[in-house]
Chain A
Amino acid sequence: MSTGFFTDTTLCIGCKACEVACKQWNELPSDGFAFTGMSYDNTVHLSGTTWRHVAFVENVQMDPQGLSDHWSMMSDVCKHCTHAGCLEACPTGAIIRNEFDNVYIQPDVCNGCGYCVPSCPFGVVDMIGQVASNAAYNVATLNQERRERDETAVQGRGGVAGKCTLCYDRQRDGFIPACAKACPTESIQFGDVDELKARAHERAQTLKERGLDASLYGVGWDSSVGDLNAFFLLTDRPERYNLPPEPVLPSTRQPAGYGAAAAAALVMFACGLAIFGRSPS
């Protein structure tokens, strides 16, 4: 069975309960107490220690009454792509697809090389414990028993990649992920991906009938990352939510790269052979 999230942004009220529940369950450290001053969004971005992030999109529109604005909230999360850039890039095999068809980082195998970070076209994966902003991270606060059973995604050592595990530990015990459990409006729905997709299509249809410009992001699209196991219902352009409109799987550029490198190497060998020549003996 493939499990995943359907995040319906039209139901999100921006309460950030998902962020808090995720931090609590996964024992993720604080990101510091800072105000961005730009909106109600002080989390700003997903990171190695923030696996749910509520975006506050400000819509400014001119209507006959004058300038009006409203917020669109969206709880962002790792997309658990069908063809995941991070998983392909990982040189240790630490990033795997688990039995729930989720993309999971095994923290005890991860060697902290950081190659998955630029390989994610969604900017989800990040390092834990190696960047300066995480210096205050205190591993002693982690639950000792869970850490020893390797069940906390953040291990008691610095410098590994971190992202949403889709609450692998909870799923194994038959619970739904912490964020979906905590969401008070069922904006975050967890379940079988096919079932969620059917539900999402139905919901988008209903909203369209009501005159809302609703579209599904990450379902049945023509992208090299494939369908997303965690997909979204949006009412605005994806860029407005900081989602790439046309994500490209980075490894699709490898044939071009290897080809160009091989061509250059052949030219160099040819020059070398011409210059050095063959031994007379």
Chain B
Amino acid sequence: MSEPVLPALPDEAYAGAGNGKVPQLNYFNRPLLRKLHWDERVITYLFLGGAMGGSGVLAALAQRSGNEPLTRTSRYLSLALAVACPAVLVSHLGRPERFHHMLRIAKLKSPMSMGAWALVGFGALAALNAGGQLSRDGVLPAWIRRLEAPFGVRLQGMLGAFTTGYTGVLLSATAVPLWARGKYHIPAASVCSAIASACALNSLALTRDRNGGEAQIKLERLEACASVLELGLLLHFRSHAGATGKPMFEGARGERLRTWTIGAGILAPLALNAISLLTRNHKKRPFVLRALLGGALTLAGGYIFRETLIEAGKASCEDPEQAFYQSK
């Protein structure tokens, strides 16, 4: 067991000595909070769950606008991700019945409980709606279509929106100083990142669709809106968090966040979009290479954003001072 070396007591600690004052220190610089054991599987879930919820939102938008290619893609992706997400969670919990333990109770006060129910509800609706789509695409028999609920897609969109945001609430409703500090920023940025990832994923899936050009252009625009908002939130969080934000915005982790999430995930796709606008090419279908590159970069940035959040949260637990005075 390697223990950190105890730093020497700073001079200020003795400043009050002699006046009957006790040095104002913590307990040997030991962390107040316990470190969580969330690993890359939880990070993957946060990322995939966001893309899943965002695809649900896109399914609702596509339905309303009557965009056939995006309707198809978003429904299929919603279902695929709704299968993948519980699988990732089960692999983290260890045994399948442990996921079921979350469904023995519904707790309004626990974002994780609400999230588990949203995930299950979303999965059921995604299955029905994707089933209807499969039936229209001629894969499944016609009667499957009748299982589609009248408001199924809208409800899927709303549950999807909840799924994009609840993970941020889940993080900020803890004692971890960094996450607590981001009680507004982290949930809002989670929504934006999820929408951007979903747009990128759906756009990537549409590159093979002959009629997907219009949807791709619109997805790029929505992604740009989400990315700009996310960027604003991240920059504001950085100044708002101050010293609490150190684990997230400074050192190697901050460098990673700047390079991947902000540089590659937000600015580079925005620049690619801007090029097409400047060359007056924006009414046409994006070049396949540009679509692939932009999509991949956005997805990578989204993953690194979640990874930074979790890892920086763990690091934030190690600072006792931040944990002591977070109510201020």
Interface, chain A (partner B; CB < 8 A) = 32, 34, 36-39, 41, 44-45, 47, 55, 57, 59-63, 67, 85, 88-94, 109-115, 117-127, 130-131, 133, 158-159, 236-237, 239-242, 244-248, 250-251, 253-254, 256-265, 267-269, 271-273, 275-281
Q: For chains A and B in complex, what number of residue pairs have CB atoms within 8 angstroms?
A: 260
B169 within 8 Å of A by Cβ? yes
B72 to chain A, nearest CB (A): 15
Task: Indicate which residue in B6, B187, B225 contacts A37 across the interface (CB closer than 8 Å).
Answer: B6
Segment at the A interface, from B270-278, B279-287, B319-327: B319-327
Give the residue among A62, A245, A254, A277 with the most B Cβ atoms within 10 A. Answer: A254
A278 near B65: Cβ-Cβ < 8 Å: yes
Task: Indicate which residue in B66, B170, B183 contacts A281 across the interface (CB closer than 8 Å).
Answer: B66
Interface string of B181-209 (1 = CB under 8 A from A): 00111111111100100000000000000
* Closest B residue to A132 using CB positions: B37
Interface pairs (16), CB distance under 8 Å: A38-B28, A44-B3, A111-B93, A118-B175, A118-B179, A247-B175, A250-B180, A253-B172, A257-B111, A268-B229, A272-B57, A275-B222, A275-B225, A276-B218, A278-B64, A279-B64
Interface string of B204-234 (1 = CB under 8 A from A): 0000000000000010011001100100010
B286 to chain A, nearest CB (A): 15
Cα separation A92 to B34 with both chains bound (whole Å): 21
Q: Which residues of B contact A251 (CB under 8 A)?
A: 109, 173
A250 near B174: Cβ-Cβ < 8 Å: yes
Given A257-B186, A269-B57, A276-B62, 7 further pairs, Cβ under 8 A: A85-B175, A89-B112, A91-B112, A114-B36, A254-B173, A268-B226, A273-B64
B177 to chain A, nearest CB (A): 10
B98 within 8 Å of A by Cβ? yes
B164 within 8 Å of A by Cβ? yes
Cα separation A44 to B27 with both chains bound (whole Å): 9
Q: Which residues of A contact B168 (CB under 8 A)?
A: 257, 260-261
Q: Which residues of B contact A245 (CB under 8 A)?
A: 324-325
Q: Number of residues in B with C-beta < 8 Å to the partner?
A: 92
Given contacts A239-B324, A260-B184, contact A112 B98 (CB under 8 A): yes
Q: Which residues of A contact B23 (CB under 8 A)?
A: 60
Task: Indicate which residue in A38, A39, A92, A256 contacts B184 across the interface (CB closer than 8 Å).
Answer: A256
Given contacts A253-B183, A264-B229, contact A111 B64 (CB under 8 A): no
Task: Indicate which residue in A59, A123, A130, A269 contacts B34 across the interface (CB closer than 8 Å).
Answer: A123
B33 within 8 Å of A by Cβ? yes
